[in-house]
Every structure is written in structure tokens, then in C-alpha cells.
Chains A and B, each alone.
Chain A
Amino acid sequence: MKGRLACLISLVAVTACADIVPPAQREGYEYRQILGTDTLSFKWDPSLLPVKIWIADDSPLRSHLITAISRWEQAFVYGEFRATLVSDSSRADIIVRNAPPTSGAGLRLAAFASQCLGETTYQLGSAPKTLQLPWRVHVWPASNPNATGIQDCYRITVTHELGHALGIINANHAGALPTDVMYRDPVADGLSERDRNTIERLYHSRTTLTAVPRP
């Protein structure tokens, strides 16, 4: 029995090495928006999860939105973002439409792919350092709604616009490369390592804006 005990103790000693070590700062791009002397940055607080997203049942973007949600959820290790589709647009935190925006209100973040266009808008709240929900995402055909490749364009652009609504709000897409889905003219059909690094850094850094729920 002593031999077995010694064996166990030595096994414990071998096992008792250092704990897990997270990655050091890794390559990404700018996610903050500089507005005058203010630096704006935003992330979804855990108390607001799952984020409620509305899209019309018959929208051609619906399946692409489901893909985009899954892509961004999978970018996180600690469950920092989760979203669910809701049937009532008046309760939604993010509203997604397959149409161009009708008003120019709010801060605009655009995307220019070849067959379709995208724009995401948000509004600052009346109180300082607040963001008034909801976010509004628009993705629409550049000309022909049945153009070849438009489904791919929708999928890429919805993923891009949802990235804005997660908090990548730099309007110039500064530092994003063509291999990143957050490039200004997005062509990458999925998240790159740099997209994942950027969103991870955002969700583990301090932000300046707090979301104000809809009245």
C-alpha cells in the first residue's frame, strides 16, 4: 500500500504545474469611434443578454442573420454575447430590415459590398455617455434584388453590420483588412482571427457608453 501511496503523491506532484495562461494582447484593429474630443465605445452588458433582435419572418435576410448571430456568439470564450430573435419589434434591442434607411438620424456605419449595401445606426441618449436603444441595421440590394451572388453578399454584410451593433463602431473601419469581415467593403464570408481578437479585446476593456433600454 505504501508503494501505491507514493505513486499517487508523485503523480499529484507531476500534475501540479502552473495554471492556464491566457493569450497576451494580439493583433486586431480599432473598434472605438472618436467624436470630437470624445472617445465612444460600447459593449453589451451581461444584464442585457440575450440581446433581442427583430427581423420580419419573410425577410430574405433572416437565415443570414441567424448565421451572423452564431458567428459572433462563437467568437467568445466566456459567453460574452448571446442574442435571440423576438417577434415584437417594439421590444427589440436591434431591428434588422431588408430596406434602405428612411431617415438620416443617428450615427451611421456603412458597408459597401458589390451586390448589396449595409448601414447600421445608433443614437446617443439624452443623458451623457448613454446610447439609446434600439440599434437599426439595414441591408438592401445595390440594384437588382435577384442579382447573382446577392445571398453571399447578404450573409457577409449582415455579419458585418451585426459586428457594428456588437460595438465595433469605428466609422472608418480603421485598421481592418480585406480578410476581416469588418473591412469597409466586406468580402470575407466569416470572422477572421483579427475580428475575434478585436471583439474579445473590446469585451474585456472598459467602454464609455451605457445602453438605455427602450421606454
Chain B
Amino acid sequence: MRFPLFVILAVAVRPSVLEAQLTARLSAGATMGTSLVADAILYDDVVALKTSVAPTIAIGLGYPISATHKLLGELRIASATLTGSGSAGANDLGALRTIEFSVMAEGPLPYHLRFQVGGGAIKYSPARAAGAFLDDAPIKPMVTAGLAWTKSLRPGLELQVGGRWGLHEFTTKTLERRGYSLAQRVHRLGITLGVERAW
């Protein structure tokens, strides 16, 4: 019985072969992130700098590098609100937009899934220069990985449900000037729904 079971599993997990075509994709969804300053002790207080769940749009271009893999360049914009909090309560620090640019390798997985791994940069763009963003709005390098589930709608057009994780280190000139040392590891998780067109 072990041999047939192995064959069934092997067939089931055989990666689908992507067609080597130039692709463009557009997607929308939401991004959430861990705190930019997380539960840090400042005098007698526990402080944090948090971003809300952010509506997100992403555009990407895929370029075939082999029969099954492609190079994916992506621009992702998310608009959150920023709050500073301590034991007394939360303070509104206004809107905070992030702009991510990443270059990733994308390849096939079983069950109509694709993986993405790569890196890029994230740019913080606050609506007003205040608080931790008084002196600068930094650009930070980041690593990123993702998973996408795809469904063919018609030849050359695909529906995609994507999950994306990113990691970068956060600090600003203001925080450094105010005596903060090291940097905060910030994890970000995005979920999007989109379409991909192939030529």
C-alpha cells in the first residue's frame, strides 16, 4: 500500500508549471504591522508607537527568468494612522503612509500556490512632521516573503489571493537624538486580492 500512496502524494504535490510570460498585477487589501516602538519602559511608563490596519494597494510586474520562475518587482502603498500610547491613554499622531518597493523571486508550489522571496525598501511618509517623525521620514531595507493562491479566470488572466510578510528595523533621527538606541524589529503582514494579466 505504501507505493501507491507515495505516487498519489507525488502527483498531488507536483508543482504546476508557470507559463514564461511577462505579467502585470494589481491588487488591494490590508496590511497590519507590529509596533514601531513596542512596550518600552520610559521613566515610570510603558510606551508604544502603533500603526492601525492599513488599506493597501499594490502593483507588480513579473519577468520570466526560467520556465517556472519569474522576477517580480512590486510597489505597495499602505495608509495607516499612527498612535502613541502610554499608561495615561493613546494620542493621535495622524496619518502614516508607507511605500514599499520590493524585488522578489516567484516560483510554483502545489495546489495553485506560488511562493515569493526577496527584499527591498520601505519608506515612511507621515502626514505631518511630528513626534518620532519630527526630523525625518526614514527609508529602511527590508526582507519579504509571500504566498499567493491563483485561479485562472480565462487565458491570460488570473485571480490571486496573496499573503505577504515583511521584516525591517525601525528607528528615526528624532528617536536617536532623544537617546533611543538600537532599532525596533517591525513585522508586517499584508493580505490582498488581485488580478494578474499575462502577455
The interface of chain A, by Cβ under 8 A from chain B, is 1, 4-5, 8, 11-12, 15-26, 43, 45-47, 49, 73-74, 76-80, 82, 196, 200-201, 203-206
Contacts and interface: CB of A to CB of B under 8 A. Distances in A.
A19 B184 contact: yes
Contacts of B117: 4-5, 8
Interface of B: 37-38, 40-45, 47, 49, 69, 83-86, 88-93, 105, 107, 117-119, 130-132, 134, 143, 145, 167-171, 174-175, 178-185
Contacts of A200: 42-43, 178
Contacts of B180: 20-23
A79 B88 CA distance: 12
Given A74-B130, A78-B49, A205-B44, A19 B38 contact: yes
Contact of B88 (A5, A24, A46, A76): A46
Contact of B182 (A17, A49, A74, A79): A17
A205 to B, nearest CB: 5
B183 A20 contact: yes
A206 B86 CA distance: 11
A16 B185 contact: yes
A45 B86 CA distance: 11
B89 A77 contact: no
B93 A79 contact: yes
Nearest to B169: A15
Nearest to B179: A23
A46 B90 CA distance: 7
Given A21-B40, A74-B130, A78-B91, A204 B86 contact: yes
Given A8-B117, A21-B40, A46-B90, 5 more contacts: A19-B182, A20-B183, A79-B130, A196-B178, A204-B43
Contacts of B131: 76-79
